[in-house]
Amino acid sequence: MTVKICCRYHPEISPYLNVYLGPMYASKTTKLIETLITYKSLGYSTTCFKPSIDTRFSRVDIVTHDGISFPSVSVDRLEEIAYYLEDNPSDIIGFDEVQFYPTNFYSDAIVPLLEGGKRVIAVGLNLDFRGNPFPSMVPLVTGAERVEMLNGTCALCSSPSSRTQRIVNGEPSLYGEVIAIGGQESYEARCRACFVEVKVLNCKYDNKGNPISL
């Protein structure tokens, strides 16, 4: 369901979608927080949202791996975003961990904000642990005014990282559910050369993402 928002907006703000993406440990949340703080210092009102599934560091705030936090609104459903902003209008809207949102995140949540004159900053993972794009990220990237790829450092060779490797018992894991919340105990940043990719032809997967035929 798309909920239209009648938004008041700062006269100097034009609708604009800025997307930062990259692997884990690439300072994406740090970039979001820095951007929101900058806008606040210039006198703009800001609101930040996070998916309720992400409770690694806080159930409310967005928090970097270095412990820097910023107030946010945790949401379960896309409709909650529009309802919150109807009562708490803001000029600048931030979204953290957008890979956890459903595929219609762009069309049902972001587009109404842009049509209401808002400036939106969204950050998220570029690829899942198998090296495939997250469904919610593709429309964001193609619909954005600006897209910036952020890199971390490969855990194996220290080259710029562009992928996220899931680790189980110290080894790369290629199976399991795509959405699995974790931190340094479960994921490593990897460069293209060090990333272990699964290539299975004519393979079907069960509802948890595990191959049922090889």
Among 97, 171, 177, 197, the active-site one is 97
Q: Do 92 and 36 touch, CB atoms closer than 8 A?
A: yes
- Tally Cβ neighbours within 10 Å of residue 42: 11
Scanning the chain, the segments in alpha helix (DSSP H) are 28-41, 79-87, 105, 111-115, 137-143
Q: Do 101 and 179 touch, CB atoms closer than 8 A?
A: no
DSSP per-residue string spanning 194-210: T------TT--B-TTS-
Q: Is 80 a catalytic residue?
A: no
- Count the residues in the chain: 214
**How far, in Å, CA of 107 to CA of 175, rounded?**
30
**Residues annotated catalytic, as ranges:** 97
